[in-house]
Amino acid sequence: MEKVQATSAFFALSQTLRLDIFRLLIQSGEHGRLPGDIANALGIRQNTLSNNLAVLLNAGLIQRVREGRNLRYTANTAEVREMLSFLLEGCCNARPDLCHPLLERAVKRMEAPVFKPPYTVLFLCNGNSARSLIAEAIMNAEGKGAFRAFSAGANPSDTGPHPYTLDLLRNLKHDASAVRTKCWDEFAGDGAPELDFVFTVCDKAAAEICPVWPGQPMSAHWGVPDPVAAEGNEAERRLAFAEAYRMLRNRITTFMSLPIATLDQFALQKRLDQIGQISELAEDV
C-alpha cells in the first residue's frame, strides 16, 4: 500500500459515523449488509449513509455488489490487510521489538481455540426482553452440559422480559423462573464469567460498542427480526415470537454441532458467520 492510499484510508475512518459503518460491515463478514439494514442499525438517514458509504468506497475500505435492484456492501478485507501491513512494515523496519508481539499474537489466533467445554456463550440484543432471552433458554436446555448460556442488553428494558417471551418459554417447557432482563455491563466486570462466544441477535446491539469482555471471546452477528416490534392482532404478534424461537433454535443447534475443538480460528469464525445467515425455520414448535 502506498502512503497516499494509506492516508486516504485512515482519513475515511477518522470520522465516528464512518468508523461505525465500517465496524458494522467488518462484523457482518462476507455476507455484508443492505443499505437499509445499515441505516436502521445505526439510526441514520439514507442520504447521510450514502454520503459516508461513498467516502469509504473511494478509500477502498468497502465494496458493493448489485443484487437485482439492491446494492449489498461488504468490508474490503484485502484492503484492510494491506493497511495493517503498511503500519507493521513501516515501524518494524526500525523497531521489530514493538511489532513482534503483534505478529506473534496474530499467528496464535490462527490456531485452534483453547476453549474447553462447557463453552460459555453470551447472547446480546438491545432490550434483552425477547430474542436474547429466548436464545439463552434454548441453549441451556439443549446444550446438555456442554454449553452454558447467558443473555444481556445494551439498553435493557425497564419493564423486564416481554410477557409473550415468558408465555412462549413456559408453553415450550422451559424453566422461566430465573429469566430476567439485565445490562451487558454485568458481564464485563470483576467476577463475570469468562466468555468463549458472544453473539448479537439484533442489529442495534451489533452496532453498539461492546464492553471489554473477560477472556478473548469469538463473536458473530445472528440477527433475527424483533418480535416485540411485530404488528397485528394478538395471534399474529405471538406468532412473531414463535418464529424468532424457531430461527434461533435452528442456528443454535447448528452451532452446537460444530467440531469446535478441531477448527482453527479462521475456519471457526467463517462457520459462525455462515450460521448467522441461516434464515430457514426449524421444525414446528
Q: What are the distances in angstroms from CA 37 to CA 34, 41, 71, 260, 265?
A: 5, 6, 11, 30, 27
C-alpha cell at 222: 445472528
Please report, for the chain, the start and end positions of each structural domain, with discontinuous segments joined by +: 1-109, 119-275
pLDDT surpassing 90 at residue 28: no
The DSSP string of 135-151 is HHHHHHHHSTTSEEEEE
Predicted TM-score (pTM) of this structure:
0.71
Task: Name the pairing type of β-strands 147-153 and 197-200.
Answer: unpaired
**DSSP character string of 61-100:** SEEEEEETTEEEEEE-HHHHHHHHHHHHHHHHTT-HHHHH
Burial class (CB in 10 A: 0-12, 13-18, 19+), 236: exposed
pLDDT for residue 188 = 83
The class level of CATH for 119-275 reads alpha beta
Give which of 28, 93, 98, 95 is closest to 62, Cα–Cα: 28
Q: Which fold has domain 1-109?
A: Arc Repressor Mutant, subunit A (1.10.10)
> Cα separation of 87 and 99, whole Å?
10
Is the predicted pLDDT of residue 196 greater than 90, yes or no?
Answer: yes
Question: Is the CB of residue 220 less than 8 Å from the CB of residue 251?
Answer: no
Q: What is the pLDDT of residue 281?
A: 43
Measured distance CA(247)–CA(165) in Å, rounded: 15
Give the pLDDT confidence score for residue 209 in this predicted structure. Answer: 65
C-alpha cell at 33: 449488509
User: What share of the chain in percent tops pLDDT 90?
Assistant: 46
Cβ neighbour number for residue 83 with a 10 Å cutoff = 20
Mean pLDDT, the chain, rounded, equals 85
| Span 161-182, average pLDDT | 94
